Amino acid sequence: MCFSAQASFAAGIGLSIIGLLSLKKNRIKKLKPLAAIPLFFGIQQLCEGMVWITHAQPALATQNQLARYAFLFFAYVVWPVWMPFTIYMIETNRKKRLYLAGFIGAGTIISGTLLWALLKVGATSAITCNHVEYAFNMPRPLEPIGLVWYCITVIAPFFITAKKELRQLGVLIVISVLLSYIFYYAHLTSVWCFFAALLSAIIYKML
C-alpha cells in the first residue's frame, strides 16, 4: 500500500486469495460482481507494489509506467462503474434498481472522463513521506468537484440498497475516505484504495 512495497504485496496476495475463495464459495450469478471485488483490489495492490519497487529506477521505467497506469485504471476507471453495478445486480426492488442504474450511468461518465484525462495528460507517481503520490494535470478548480462526484458514485449505492450488510460496509467506507482525506490528502488515491481494499475482505463473510 502507501507505506511500503511489502505492505502492498502482502495485501495484494491476501486479497487475491480471499477474492478467489469468494468466487469459488459463491455460485449465485448476481453475486459474482460482489465476490470479485477483493480479487480486483488484490490485483490493484500488487500493481502498487510494482510501483514501489520500480520507482526511481531508469532501467525499469516501462514497468513502473505499466504498474502505475494499471493501479490508476482500477482507481479511476473500474470502481466508479463496478461499485454501483455490483449493488444493482444484488438489489431486487425495482425503484431502487432504477436509481442504481442512474449511478451506473454517472459512474460511466466519471470513468470515461478520468480515462480521457489519463490518456490525454498522463499521470505521474512519486514516493513522498513514505507514501505513493499519484498526480495528473487536471485543472485545479475541477479537483474538489470531481472528488465529490467520484465519492458519491462509489459510495451512495451502498446506502440505496436495503441489504443491511452492504449499508454497514458503506458506513465503513465513508469512515475510511474521511480519515484518508483528513490525514493523507496528498496521497488520497493510494491510502483510500488501501483502506477500501482491506474492507473488501469483509465480503467473503457476507457471501
> Residue 60: exposed, middle, or buried by beta-carbon count in 10 A (0-12, 13-18, 19+)?
middle
- Has this prediction a pTM greater than 0.75? yes
- Domain total of the chain: 1
Write down the pLDDT at residue 173: 85
Write down the pLDDT at residue 153: 94
For residue 126, give the CATH number of its domain. Answer: 1.20.1070
Write down the pLDDT at residue 131: 74
CA 66/CA 81 separation, integer angstroms: 22
Write down the pLDDT at residue 54: 92
Taking the chain (207 residues) in runs of 10, the rounded mean pLDDT of each run is 74 89 88 92 90 88 93 92 95 94 95 89 79 73 74 92 88 80 63 72 81
Write down the pLDDT at residue 138: 67
Write down the pLDDT at residue 112: 92
Model confidence pLDDT, tens digit, residues 21-69: 999 988 888 999 999 999 998 899 899 899 989 988 889 989 999 999 9
First to last CA, the chain: 26
* Cross-strand pairs, 181: none
Write down the pLDDT at residue 55: 87
SS3 (DSSP) at 28 = coil
**What DSSP line would sit under 142-205, residue for residue?**
HHHHHHHHHHHHHHTHHHHS--HHHHHHHHHHHHHHHHHHHH-GGGHHHHHHHHHHHHHTTHHH
Q: Please check whether residue 114 is in contact with residue 167, taking contact to mean a CB–CB distance below 8 angstroms.
A: no
Write down the pLDDT at residue 1: 46
> Smallest Cα–Cα separation from 198: which of 50, 3, 41?
41
Please report the sign of the dihedral spanned by the C-alpha atoms of residue 94, residue 99, residue 104, residue 108.
positive
Write down the pLDDT at residue 140: 63
Domain extent, residue 137, equals 5-206
Write down the pLDDT at residue 162: 84
Q: List Cβ neighbours of 89 (8 Å cut-off, separation of 6 or more).
A: 30, 31, 32, 33, 34
CA 191/CA 133 separation, integer angstroms: 9
* Cross-strand pairs, 125: 134
